[in-house]
Chain A
Amino acid sequence: MKSLAFLSLLLSVIFTAPGPERLITRSGSISFYSKAPLENIEANSKTALSVLDKKTGQIEFSVLIKSFTFEKALMQEHFNENYLESDKFPKAAFKGRIDNISNIDFEKDGKHTVSVTGQLSIHGETKTITTPATITIQSGTTAANADFNISLTDYKINIPSLAKDKISNSVKIVVSLQYEKPA
């Protein structure tokens, strides 16, 4: 009985463990830029976690809101405290799929333009986004890059009227994921 329970446990572990078709990175870079009449805002995080499934084309990433660094400490404080409310919503995450992943040969060097569709969750709100992206394979390592615009109102990030001239509603997000070489 005991050995059977152990076996079933072992089997379930094997079935759920990431297979060799999955690429992973824990040091993905995510930046955002917002241009406003009075002030440009930009911030970057280099600790995004991402997994890409080469077989199914599923791609996901998540990033801690607090890991974004700004040039100005006060901006960073306001970003966390007043706008993104990182205590309540600590993470931003994306869960999507790359179209026609089977067209890509991960064994061969090359640059592929693809389309990604998925759910982007920020500040407790989830919206569907579709964006072109590039998959670059170079000497065995895979990188995924994309940039797209989001609107702050979509994610219920409110800008007080006092700061309207300082913060643009449209924010450009740049995602750059350099996956680890599979072991």
Chain B
Amino acid sequence: MSDLADLAGRLVAQAGSDEHLEAYVARSRETHVRAYEGEVESLTAADAAGAGIRVVRDGRQGFAWAASLDADVLAEALAEARDNATFAEPDEWQGLAEPDGHPVASLDLHHPGVRSLPTDAKVDLALAVERAVRAADPRIVGIESAEYVDDDVEVAIASTAGVAATASESACYLAVYALAEDGDDLQTGFGFSVGRDPSSLDPQAAGADAAARATRLLGATKPSTARTTVVLDPWVTAQLLEVIAATLDGESVLKGRSLFAERLGEGVASPLLTLLDDPTESDAFGATTIDAEGLATRRNVLIGDGVLRGFVDNAYTGRRRGVPSTGSAVRAGFRSTPGVGTMAVRLVPGARSQAELVAEVASGVLISEVSGLHSGVNPVSGDFSTGAEGLRIRGGEVAEPIREFTIASTLQRLLLDVQAVGADVEWLPMGAAGVSLVIDDVTVSGA
């Protein structure tokens, strides 16, 4: 780790007196095992490293990256970043993050198991999850994939503004995609188990989950079109939360692309909803101690009891909006400049289980999967329409499976139409945690 910090420091030391320079240096080690029919289908083991260099001069920003830590390659990247800066238009708000003294959370995000566990044991986990799904139900006829994935990342960020931060995180997960068959009918279901150390992964639970999700859809038919109440599975809620969170960042507000730009302090959601972005929650997959500009991450309240409380900002959007950074700079590794966004959103849970929530729905649909969020949901207009599958709810009980339908509303209405939030928080391998959610008055389009 210290060598990365040294390297970042050496890059920053090359800054001229008239320029600001930030170096983001990262190194990762990954293992990826795919199992199929009791054998290893593929095993990938790799180390990768690289740096992204940002130069700001006279309000102009230039950026270049290289997937190498070799001195000559980094020298070329620095020269490119300087050259690129000359083509940007001056922007008075452009600049690097200033250290803000916010304390860095003490989180236990780096576990040695990802590096120390022998590859054979990782292979065994992938084989075990495949066995578990096949053993769970006689109607499971195969798998599309069963995999063990881990990643161990170290990052060092340094800048002429005085940032000098490091972080290291480990993560691993098992994921399995099951195929269930009954006669001519074939259905799929996934299951996973997430952790920071391989010893915490549970192949049995992941396998059983995938088998249950696939088999419960067997015999699914297409429903007729209607307006109804839906209960979103935690997995579906998490995907919805990611879409909503993407409308609540300072950049969308500045550029007139946020539905909620002018609505701070107003009721935008059911009073049952409190939405947080909290990368300091160590159970969250997106947990991290520093943001992509090296500032400490913090717990940000986006919606409190249905009232819009705030947006997330990085140094640039905060400066331009006249507010401090919320420690919400994000980037896709060293290959990109810092953007702004949430990292670990979640709803404050309610008190009831999914079964208790379903028991209060006379007629509705439990949505277990959605598809096409990227093509049918527009975060600017708020139009919301996705493909879906799930189970009918009749008289407070889960009934027959249905598929090949869509659910539609608008993001604005979905938030206001929430009737209940479940207690069943699920930590998922994504930027949001899930919880069951009951929403009224959603259009189901089918036959």
A associates with B? no
